[in-house]
Amino acid sequence: MLLNVSILGFILAGIILLFSSYRKSKNAYLAAYLLGSNLFSLIYYVIFESQSVNLAALFAINFTPFYLLNQPFLHLYVLSQQKEFTFKPMYFLFFVPFALILLNVSPYVFIPFSQKVEFAKKFLNNAELLYQAKLLFLPYYYQSLFRPAFNLIFLVFTCLTYYKLRHSFDYPKSKFNERNFVFAILLISASLNGLSFLFIFNKLLIQSFDMTLFSGVSFATINSMVSYLYVGQNLLLLFFPQILFQEQFHSASSERQKKDLTPKTDSSISQERFLEIEEIIQAYILEKPYLSQGFTLTSISQQTGLPAHQLSTYFNEYVHSPFNDWKNKLRIEYIVSEINDGKLEFLTIEGLATSSGFASRSNFNRAFFTIMNQTPTEYIKGLKK
C-alpha cells in the first residue's frame, strides 16, 4: 500500500510543478514538501514492508536526511500564502539541520554498494540492526528520534506563524477554499510526526527503563495509521484542482477580475439604490474583512452579491473616494484605535502593517502619513509623551 501511495504522491507533486510557474509559485514549496514526504514513506516501505535488498541498500540510510526538508518547505508554503511574499536569505537557516544530518550519514553514503547490500540483508531480517550503522557523530537511533522531534518543534513554529499571519493570507475564491487545505496539511503533518516520535520514544523507554507508553498497540497498527495518513495527504489534493492546475486557474481568474474591475458608468443608479448599497457595505465591514490583503472590489462583490460596476459607481459618485483610499482609511482607523488601546504596543512597524492588511511596510507608512499627517513612529512617540 505504501509503495502505491508514494508513487501517487510523486505523480501529484510532478503535476503541481508541471502546471505551475514553479520558479515564482508558492506551489513549488508544496511540491517540494510532497516529494520529501513521499520519499520518506517510500523509505518506510523499503525498511518495513519490502524484501528488496538492493532497494533497502539504496534508500534505507542514504536518503533519510531529506526528511528534514519537509517542515522547512511546508513552512515556506504557509508563508507564501501572503500576497507579496518574497524569499529572504534568513530562510536558509531552516535547512541547517538537513545539512548536519547529511554530514552525519556521510560515512555510510560513501561505503561501497556491496557493503550496503550485505548490511541490508541483515536489517531486512531484523530492523533493529539499522541502529548499528556507523555514522559520523550521532548514532542512527538518536538520529531517528531527532527527525520527528525537529519536525514537531518546527511544526509548532509554523502553526504559530500561520495564526499570526492569517489576516494577510490571500486565498483565491473557490468551491474548496485553499485555507482548508493548508489547515489539513498541517494537521496530517502533525499526526505523522507525532506517531513517528512516539513510536521511537516508546522504544527508547523500553530499552532504557523497561517502560512503555502503549503496550497494547502493535507495530502493524502504527504502520496502518501511517499508511492511511499518507493516503489522506495525497488524495486531499484531488479536491483542490486550483492547486494541481494553478496556472490555468490563475489565468481564468485573472480574466474574470479584469472583466469585473473594468470601470463602468451606471448613471441610472438611484439614490435609494445607493442607500441600499451603503447599508450592505456597512454591515459587511463589521467583520473587518479589509484587514485581509485579498480585500478587493471583486472580493466584496463575490461576498455581498453586489455587482462590481455598481460598487465602483458607489465609491466614485456616492462616497466620493476611490476604493483604495476608502480601504486604506478603514485600515488606518483600525490600527490607530488598536494602538490607542495599547493592544499593539509590542509590534514592530512591519507587524503593524501586517496586522492592518498592508502588503508592505512602505505602503503602510505612506497610507498612514496621508491620513494622519505623520508617520506611525511619530504618532506612537507622541502617545508616550
pLDDT digits 0-9 by tens, 21-43: 544 567 888 888 888 888 877 87
Q: Both 101 and 151 in a single domain?
A: yes
Work out whether the CA dihedral 242, 298, 87, 148 comes out positive or negative: negative
- Residue 119 forms part of a structural domain: yes
Residue 173: pLDDT band with limits 50, 70, 90: low
Q: Which domain holds residue 361?
A: 268-384
As a whole number, mean pLDDT of residues 362-374 equals 88
Residue 213 has pLDDT above 70, yes or no: yes
What is the radius of gyration, based on Cα positions, of the chain? 26
Report the domain count for the chain.
2
Q: Both 231 and 309 in a single domain?
A: no
352 by DSSP, 3-state: which? helix
Which one is predicted more confidently, 126 or 170?
126
- Residue 131 forms part of a structural domain: yes
Cα–Cα nearest to 155, from 96, 237, 227, 70: 70
Cα–Cα nearest to 44, from 249, 301, 223, 245: 223
Of all residues in the chain, the percent with pLDDT exceeding 90 is 19
| End residue of a domain, out of 247, 276, 307 | 247
Q: Both 143 and 101 in a single domain?
A: yes
Residue 246: pLDDT band with limits 50, 70, 90: low
Task: With 0.75 as the threshold, say if the pTM is over it.
Answer: no
- Residue 281 forms part of a structural domain: yes
Residue range 304-356, pLDDT digits in tens: 999 988 898 899 888 888 899 999 999 999 988 888 888 777 788 888 888 88
As a whole number, mean pLDDT of residues 102-110 equals 93
